[in-house]
């Protein structure tokens, strides 16, 4: 007990006085709490979510305009939405050249490989066509290609955008009739 008296605890006691007001602790920033890298990741996530919201709103507006009949898509817009690289562009060009009847994926792959020096297989072409359709479907709710049997051909939307008219081009049955009439004309 004598120890307490020597230290001065016994007589005075602990009292808090109003004279020395303590400053509040300085709050730590988010950077100090999480670390700079984690904070930058959080900010990036917020920005990307905001951009995605804007893209969704644009899609909604485009779909509304399309339903009202006020949406005209140019070749450049369609390619910006769907086409990613030169290979996609070559595949699209080949199918535009083929026309209404369409082409087998193996024929498209062979032609694209011959032109550009790529090493595509038939299943690469099919996968790329499906991806192009999906990307355009997500953006403007339209498709570029459709399957006709085992062949891939341009849809009516794509033929309107790229200037190839489905109604103007003859079908396979009409081609046979035209070939026969040319043979008769030669005789």
Helix/strand/coil for 39: helix
53, 68, 83: which is the final residue of a domain? 68
* 54-92 pLDDT tens trace: 988 988 888 888 888 877 788 888 888 888 899 999 999
Give CA 124 to chain center in angstroms: 19
Specify whether 61 is located in the same domain as 91. Answer: no
Is residue 6, in this structure, part of any structural domain at all? no
pLDDT the model gives residue 3: 55
For residue 107, report the phi and psi dihedrals to the nearest 5 degrees. -70, -40
Is residue 5, in this structure, part of any structural domain at all? no
Specify whether 62 is located in the same domain as 84. Answer: no
Joined tokens for residue 117:
């020096």
Specify whether 85 is located in the same domain as 108. Answer: yes
pLDDT the model gives residue 50: 96
- pTM as predicted: 0.60
Specify whether 64 is located in the same domain as 132. Answer: no
* 133-169 pLDDT tens trace: 999 998 888 899 999 999 999 999 888 888 864 444 4
Is residue 187, in this structure, part of any structural domain at all? no
Helix (H) or strand (E) run with residue 153 in it:
strand 151-154
pLDDT the model gives residue 41: 92
Q: Residue 99 sits in a domain of what CATH number?
A: 1.10.10
Is residue 2, in this structure, part of any structural domain at all? no
Query: Average pLDDT of 108-137?
Result: 91
Is residue 144, in this structure, part of any structural domain at all? yes
Residue 42: which domain range?
30-68
* 9-46 pLDDT tens trace: 555 555 555 566 788 888 888 778 888 888 899 999 99
Let me know: does 139 contact 185? Beta carbons within 8 Å: no
CA dihedral for 156, 157, 160, 162, sign (positive or negative): negative
Distance CA 142, CA 134 (A): 9
Helices (H) and strands (E) in the chain, counts: 10, 2
Is residue 25, in this structure, part of any structural domain at all? no
Is residue 22, in this structure, part of any structural domain at all? no
Specify whether 84 is located in the same domain as 102. Answer: yes
């Amino acid at each position: 007990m004598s120890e307490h008296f020597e230290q001065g605890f016994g007589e005075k006691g602990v009292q808090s006085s109003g004279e020395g007001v303590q400053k509040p602790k300085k709050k730590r920033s988010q950077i100090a709490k999480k670390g700079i890298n984690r904070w930058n990741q959080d900010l990036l996530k917020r920005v990307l979510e905001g951009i995605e919201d804007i893209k969704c709103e644009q899609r909604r507006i485009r779909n509304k305009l399309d339903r009202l009949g006020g949406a005209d898509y140019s070749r450049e817009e369609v390619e910006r939405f769907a086409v990613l690289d030169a290979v996609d562009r070559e595949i699209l060009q080949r199918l535009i050249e083929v026309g209404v009847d369409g082409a087998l994926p193996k024929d498209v792959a062979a032609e694209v490989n011959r032109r550009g020096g790529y090493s595509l297989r038939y299943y690469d072409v099919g996968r790329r066509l499906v991806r192009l359709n999906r990307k355009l479907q997500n953006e403007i709710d339209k498709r570029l290609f459709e399957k006709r049997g085992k062949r891939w051909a341009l849809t009516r939307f794509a033929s309107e955008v790229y200037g190839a008219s489905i109604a103007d081009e003859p079908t396979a049955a009409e081609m046979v009739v035209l070939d026969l009439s040319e043979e008769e004309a030669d005789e």
